[in-house]
Amino acid sequence: MITNAEIASILSELARLTVLEDGSPQSFRVRAYEKAARAVEIHDEPLAPLTAAQITKVPGLGASSAKKIRELADTGRLAKLDSLRETFPPAFVEVTRIPGVGPKTALMLRESLGIESVDDLKRAVGDQALRDLPGLGAKTEENIARSIERLGIGGKDRRTPIVDAMRIAQDMVAALEAMPGVDRAVPMGSLRRFRETIGDVDIIAVSEGGSGAIMEWFTTMSTVTDVVGFGAKKSSVIVGAGIQVDLRVMTAAQFGSASMYFTGSKAHNIRLRQLAMDRGWILNEYGLSDSASGDLIASETEEDVYAALGLPWIPPELREDTGEVEAAIAGSLPDLVDVGHLHGDLHVHTDLSGDGRDSIEAMLDAVVARGLTYVAITDHAEDLVINGASRDEMLAQRAHIDELCVRYPDLTVLHGAELNIGPEGSIDYDRDFLAGFDFGVASVHSQFDLPADVQTQRVITAMNNPAVNVIGHLTGRMIGRRPGIELDVDAVLAAAVETGCGIEINSHLQRLDASADVLRRAVGSDVVFVISTDAHDTRELANSMWGVRNARRGWVRRDRVANTWETAEFLAWVASKRGR
């Protein structure tokens, strides 16, 4: 049976190819397909078994979409899509990935020069064949040539892992804020929404003194390799390895509406503008105002603008138009977790781990300095040959912790281990030795390419082990570098409830594992999560803020996160698992 995700993906492709058929990314048909794809994606129940009439009941899906979905479910194909793919083969679609080349230009190039691929276009540019075409010129030809060169590092749909984008944004923000006339600079866009990969880095600089000097400075920084836009209000540059950074300069009075606009998502913004329109208002980056009189209604803070639209403030991590607007209207936004809610860290390494950097004393000092009241020390167990600790080393560490406890009267220190899940779900040590630990995190560190059913059983077997309180970094993925193990996520979430085993939300920006998508699948269930840093040095303890934001993006309610609980309640949860 075809899944909603598969249907949504096909409708998205239909939208992309219809852009070419209609010659416009804004055609109403394109937008209808995009909206339909989104509607299918966020619909809770499978659509494949429904009749066309039932499908039409879903908002965003009309008679035409219903017919297409039935065709897909019944035949596995979509004639309309097959014919579009024939008209616009992948090599031609590739041409539209070139920045600056949209559907109109691509179609015109095909019509006038027979361009069917990026290679064709490269040749035409070499022959200077573009500059004499209507609407184009020498400048456009040069820009397309440069864009093709840049294609080597990704086209319009290139995405950068959040860990890299975050670093660039932080550096840029610091540099901007050091500049005279800039009152503050704040990253926006998908970075603020905390997507795990980022297209462009968007930044707002707040200034009352005009933008000229700021834009001049921004576009001539030493890290800038290319300037793709230079204007009074907006400029865009390429930095370092090819990441685009967009800067908008706004006044403090516009900051609320501006940050909503630049945080997006686009789909979320469209929903808000429709709400504004219903009231006879207009919403843009400069504010919410009356369409007729032009009178400003709200702009200074996001809270002001949302409130004027009759909504509570919606956290940026939720702004994807995947149900957050409806929840806001209904007053049922989830009560999300903040860093200040965390009382403990349940995955912390010391220099006993081969890859750990700081002593246990340093780690405990840092934990106390962060205001935490409990912590689990979880160095690697012996099966991780390079980094793991032997039994004797673990016993010595436990004795050491007992001695140290007097120095930390307000901190509950659990002696734990990060256990390794073998291919069949077994873990390090033996039952008796495991019983000596206060806490167990079990993680996959090897054999990432077993079949999904084997991996699923592997993790569930580990969950059933009484020594395992939490599954660490669920899939082992590294964003943008390796995919992580394949799992039947729903089966794993069900087993988590069944066994009382917690699931870690790993705070490393490269991991963010379990992913926000997985977390969202658990909404409404009784799965217990813990937000852990997996810190290998004292500095990394601050990473909890990333885990928190990933949890927020996954709609995880605060009360489902065990390390927001007070010490006694938390310890009771730990004990109940170990007693099974």
Partner DNA sequence: GCCGTTTTCGGCCCGACTGTTTTCAGTCG
The residues of the shown chain that bind DNA, judged by CB under 7 A, are 25-26, 28-29, 31-33, 35-36, 56, 59-66, 96, 98-106, 131, 134-141, 143, 156, 189, 199-200, 202, 229-235, 244, 246, 266, 269-270, 273-274, 276-277, 280, 282-286
Shortest distance, position 199 Cβ to DNA, whole Å: 6
Rounded alpha-carbon distances, angstroms, from residue 529 to 259, 317, 580: 31, 18, 19
Minimum distance, C-beta of residue 208 to DNA, in the bound complex (Å): 17
Distance of alpha carbon 557 from alpha carbon 551, whole angstroms:
8
Cα 207 to Cα 119: distance, rounded to the nearest angstrom: 45
> What is the CA angle 506-507-510, rounded to 5?
90
Nearer to DNA, 204 or 512 (CB): 204
SS3 label, residue 225: strand
Nearer to DNA, 138 or 174 (CB): 138
Amino acid (1-letter code) at residue 402: D
Characterise 169 by phi-psi region: left (phi > 0), alpha (psi -120 to 50), beta (else): alpha
Q: How far is the CB of 192 from DNA (least distance, A)?
A: 12
Instruction: Report d(CA 272, CA 261) in Å as an integer.
Output: 10
Min dist. Cβ of residue 143 to DNA (A): 5
Q: Which amino acid is at 185?
A: A
Tell me the CB-side half-sphere exposure of residue 547, using CA atoms within 13 A. 34
Residue 396 CB, shortest distance to DNA, in Å, is: 55
Cβ nearer to DNA, comparing 100 with 209: 100
Cβ atoms 531, 376 nearer than 8 A? no
- Quote the tokens at residue 315: 């956290």
Closer residue to DNA (CB): 49 or 134: 134
Structure tokens at 10: 């096909």
CA-wise closest residue to 443 among 475, 478, 480: 475
Shortest Å distance, C-beta 269 to DNA: 6
Query: What's the min distance (Å) between Cβ of 31 and DNA?
Result: 6
Q: CB nearer to DNA: give 144 or 470.
A: 144
Comparing CB distances to DNA, the nearer of 274 and 446 is 274
DSSP 485-534: ----HHHHHHHHHHHT-EEEEE--TTT-BS-HHHHHHTTTS---EEEE--
Neighbours of 493 (CB within 10 A): 21
Smaller CB separation from DNA, 188 or 394:
188
Name the minimum Å distance from CB 155 to DNA: 9
Q: Tell me the sheet residues that pair with 517.
A: none
> Of 34 and 324, which has the nearer Cβ to DNA?
34
Task: Supply the minimum distance, in Å, between the C-beta of residue 175 and DNA.
Answer: 20
- Token pair, residue 70, equals 């039935």
Least Å distance, CB 50 to DNA, is 14
d(CA 73, CA 7): 9
Q: Name the residue nearer to DNA (CB basis): 248 or 477.
A: 248
Shorter beta-carbon distance to DNA: residue 19 or 505: 19
Distance CA 138, CA 574 (A): 69
Whether the CB-CB separation of 319 and 528 falls below 8 Å is answered with no
Whose tokens are 């705070």? That residue is: 507
Cβ atoms of residues 563 and 346 within 8 Å: yes
- Pair 65, 4: CB distance under 8 Å: no
Pair of tokens at residue 331? 């007053």
Shortest Cβ 501–DNA spacing (Å): 41
Of 155 and 554, nearer to DNA (C-beta) is 155
